[in-house]
Structure 1
Amino acid sequence: MQRTVVTISPTDPAVKAIKTIFNLGFNSVPVVEKKKIVGIITDDDILKKLFPSMSEFMADMVAGRNFEAMEINMRHLMNTPVSDIMTKDVITATPDTPIMKAQSLMLLHGFAHIPVVEKDKKLIGIIAQGDIFKALVESEIPQDSSEEYHQWLASHWDLVVPWERRLDFEIPSLHRLFKQYKITNVIDVFCGTGEHDIALAKKGYHVLGLNRGTLMHRHAVEKFIQQPIDVQKNIKFRYGNYKKLIDKNDSPADAVVFLGNALGHLTDDCQQVLKSAFTKIPNKTGLLVLQLTNIDKIINVKKRLQDFVIVPSRVAKTSEYAFLQFYDPPRLGSKFATLTMSILFYRLKRWHQKAINSTSIIYFNQRNIESLLKRIGFSKIEFFGSNHNQALFDKKFDPKMHDYMNVVAYK
């Protein structure tokens, strides 16, 4: 809502309304008396009531009307009070009117703006279609790029990831692995918006999905409550410190998984979380599963570009988002790579910069992750490779070929 509103008085001459509407580029102007709305004047009101229709104009020409008289009459009309031209039955909204109801009112009546009034008809603002569009887009992808990366990411993660295609390959891979080792209870660390967990729960697994941030957790819970009861009973979502959540979990954990390069994001406590996972996994039958981004390939083969995706907006049919993700190698002695995501927004025949954010990522390769897992205590470690939308464990890992390094570790 715009709180600064240009208004006119019912006693103002029509010429003031004309100048206000056409010089300032407005479609309508509220008419206010003693701070209360008493009408609204639109460009359509002016054109219909001040200027002749085409048929009238043609009739005047045929009749040979005196154009000097027409000009005099026009000057007279310019001084007509706004109250004689305005629309008195005004469609308004209140501060608590739902945004989509305001949009519906505009579409139904063909308005570009709707005044916002209090109960006593006191004008307090105005809503434009552009305001509603902006509000809907902001709810889809917030503007603030200064947020912590993972909180920021939560707001648009489901737009970036083609979940249906991804799960079609990854869930059957996990299911075959879990079935082979008789896995029934799974802890998913950094579960994001919960898509893997819900899909596993539908197959009968008991899943504990963990998030560090509240926004990712909230999105996961929102999806959880939409599931049928027989799926809900197989899932728990928790948020907080990963190590503490794993340590405090009283339920058995046959497998602990870190999907979507989750482990690479744990720059502060990666080893501590892995140690807790190692302690929780039972001997012989327990598994640790890691899906790690092959940063070597991104840096050396793909020239630092991880992904570029264009997707339609869910709230504006004519708009699109472009998501560009790329990596910087470690700089100035740092052991971390930097992942940057830039978001562009297409509207009004051009692309606009929407947001950009970055985060540090642990630069894992086959050598250093194997060394780390052995130090923690894992005795057997297997490496598999996959690209986007491929089975996870069908091929041996090739650092020059595969987008993901998928690790299965055993006690």
Structure 2
Amino acid sequence: MKVADVMSTTLDWVATDTKIREVSRLIFGRGINGVPVCRGRKVIGFISEKDILSKFYPSMREYTEDPFREGNFEEMEEKVDQIFALTAEKIMSRNPTTVTPDTPLLKAQSLMFIHKVGRLPVVDKSGNLIGMITKGDIFRASVGDRLPLTDEEEYHDWQAKHYDIITDWKQRLQNEIPDLSALFRKHKVKDVIDIGFGTGEHDIALAKEGFNVLGIESSQLMAREAKKKADKLPQDVKKRLNFIFGDYSKILSQEEKKYRAAIFMGNAFLHLVPQYKKVLDAISNSLLSHGSVIVLQITNLERIFKVKNRVFDVTFGRSKHGVPSEHAFFRFYDPKDKNGYLTLNTAIFDHDERRWKFRTMNSAPIVNLNKNSVRNLLKKKGFGKISFYGGKFLGRLFREPFKPSESDWLNVIAVR
């Protein structure tokens, strides 16, 4: 594999006369550790964070005269404006290491290791800048792109520490639990199965309403968070909850009791790649053959792609630990892959009370279902009465008709 196969052609570079203030803004704003310095497009140097910070340090002569730095460090900090006024040419490292598009990828990796740098300019035969390659590019090409997308369990393990920050549970439960409770009382439901219970908020709320809930969760970290909450509940509520971590189909196959209701809240059903049909079979077998109810809360994917330009949501949450002070969560979908699944991507940004910084990102495959495909799946399991409702995020479940271009959720009630 060659450098040309993985290099980035979206370029950041500065001219020789660019002020260090602007260079610093570019490095910090882009989250990179340095940029090439060009005359025209010819690479003549490289300027890094280290090059800029070195200007704050004492010269060798100053260090020899005062090795323990008894001098005033505040004076060093006051040099900021002086340093910002310098040009890139005054600070840059000259004769930078470069590679060409034909350089073998692992040779580029070796050059980075030898010269202790994280990125290299890619130049043509005339030395003109045409690309950049980083350690991250090489890692993704060598390892990352060969890894499968995170499965349902791993994705929710990753999300567990942030899930309660993303969600306004007070408002959500205030609107959703009354609708679930009314539905269950109408159908004389006492015992409920919850598939993918997350951090347990729906199940705890239903237990407080008097329902017995079996919650099954494939994410160990999600289940752990839910159990911590359950341990703090009054005994009369706690006894109605049974949180189990493990494989959905396997646990359901071992359950002898027949239930009257099952719920898949918060898009849990669409995360069951590739086993959604298998889990639906297991749920169907665990429910009473007559009078049972399934509730599905599914993202309205038609609205996501046709109206919202693939964006699911953008939410903000305060940190539990003080630093960083705030988090932003950006969730969006990619179109169908070769297997017919969609991809849900979640990016997290942190705010340090001055600026936002990208922290991490993860992706998971999602089952691509709409109103008609959901109806067909449920009919095959004997659910003859199927009702569809629309809902807004954090809103009521069963009060509005489903509108493909307006509803955030496709909420389904299926009765057998």
TM-score band by shorter chain is 0.5 to 0.7
What is the 5 A alignment of 1:259-278?
A: 259-278=265-284
- For 1:232, the equivalent position in structure 2 comes to 238
2:345 paired with 1:344: no
Q: 1:185 to 1:146 in 2, by over 3 A?
A: closer
Q: Name the aligned partner's letter for residue 336 of structure 2.
A: P
Correspondent of 2:253 among 243, 247, 256: 247
- Cα distance in 2 for partners of 1:146, 1:375 equals 30
Correspondent of 1:406 among 387, 392, 411: 411
2:375 paired with 1:394: no
Identity %: 37
Indicate conservation of the 8 Å contact 2:150/2:363, yes or no. Answer: no
- Cα distance in 2 for partners of 1:173, 1:20 equals 70
Secondary structure at the aligned position of 1:314 is classed as coil
- Cα distance in 2 for partners of 1:177, 1:310 equals 32
Uncovered stretches (5+) of structure 1, i.e. residues with no partner: 1-12, 27-144
Secondary structure at the aligned position of 2:179 is classed as helix
- Cα distance in 1 for partners of 2:345, 2:330 equals 8
Q: 1:340 to 1:25 in 2, by over 3 A?
A: farther
Report Cα offsets for 1:223-274 as digits up to 9, x if no partner.
Answer: 1101111110000100111011112123331101100010000012111111
Correspondent of 1:284 among 287, 290, 302: 290
- For 1:126, the equivalent position in structure 2 comes to none
What is the 5 A alignment of 1:173-192?
A: 173-192=179-198
* TM-score of the superposed pair, with normalisation by structure 1: 0.64
2:309 paired with 1:303: yes
Which of these two proteins has the greater Rg computed from alpha carbons? 1
Indicate conservation of the 8 Å contact 2:257/2:286, yes or no. Answer: no
Report Cα offsets for 1:123-168 as digits up to 9, x if no partner.
Answer: xxxxxxxxxxxxxxxxxxxxxx989312101121111111111000
- Cα distance in 1 for partners of 2:396, 2:71 equals 63
Report Cα offsets for 1:47-69 as digits up to 9, x if no partner.
Answer: xxxxxxxxxxxxxxxxxxxxxxx
- For 2:374, the equivalent position in structure 1 comes to 369
Q: 1:21 to 1:371 in 2, by over 3 A?
A: farther
Secondary structure at the aligned position of 2:410 is classed as strand
- Cα distance in 2 for partners of 1:271, 1:384 equals 22
Report Cα offsets for 1:204-223 as digits up to 9, x if no partner.
Answer: 10001110011111011011
Report Cα offsets for 1:100-143 as digits up to 9, x if no partner.
Answer: xxxxxxxxxxxxxxxxxxxxxxxxxxxxxxxxxxxxxxxxxxxx
- Cα distance in 1 for partners of 2:183, 2:249 equals 25
Structure 1 residue 24, shift from structure 2 partner: 13
Aligned length: 280
Q: 1:153 to 1:19 in 2, by over 3 A?
A: same
**RMSD, matched Cα:** 2.4
- Cα distance in 1 for partners of 2:76, 2:203 equals 52
Secondary structure at the aligned position of 2:156 is classed as helix
- For 2:163, the equivalent position in structure 1 comes to 157
- For 2:69, the equivalent position in structure 1 comes to 18
- For 2:111, the equivalent position in structure 1 comes to none
- Cα distance in 1 for partners of 2:282, 2:75 equals 64
Indicate conservation of the 8 Å contact 1:289/1:408, yes or no. Answer: yes
- Cα distance in 2 for partners of 1:156, 1:334 equals 29
Indicate conservation of the 8 Å contact 2:323/2:352, yes or no. Answer: no
Structure 1 residue 396, shift from structure 2 partner: 2.0
Correspondent of 1:214 among 214, 220, 227: 220
Report Cα offsets for 1:353-398 as digits up to 9, x if no partner.
Answer: 1110010101110011111112233222111111112211112211
Indicate conservation of the 8 Å contact 1:296/1:365, yes or no. Answer: yes
Secondary structure at the aligned position of 2:69 is classed as helix
- Cα distance in 2 for partners of 1:323, 1:25 equals 38
Indicate conservation of the 8 Å contact 1:329/1:337, yes or no. Answer: yes
Structure 1 residue 334, shift from structure 2 partner: 3.1
- For 2:389, the equivalent position in structure 1 comes to 384
Q: 1:16 to 1:164 in 2, by over 3 A?
A: same
Q: Name the aligned partner's letter for residue 392 of structure 1.
A: L
Report Cα offsets for 1:24-81 as digits up to 9, x if no partner.
Answer: 999xxxxxxxxxxxxxxxxxxxxxxxxxxxxxxxxxxxxxxxxxxxxxxxxxxxxxxx
- Cα distance in 2 for partners of 1:14, 1:196 equals 68
Tell which deviates more after alignment, 188-197 or 304-313. Answer: 304-313
2:381 paired with 1:330: no
Q: 1:347 to 1:257 in 2, by over 3 A?
A: same
Report Cα offsets for 1:181-215 as digits up to 9, x if no partner.
Answer: 01000000000000000000001100011100111
Q: 1:381 to 1:345 in 2, by over 3 A?
A: same
Structure 1 residue 285, shift from structure 2 partner: 1.9
Indicate conservation of the 8 Å contact 1:293/1:403, yes or no. Answer: yes
Correspondent of 2:320 among 309, 314, 318: 314
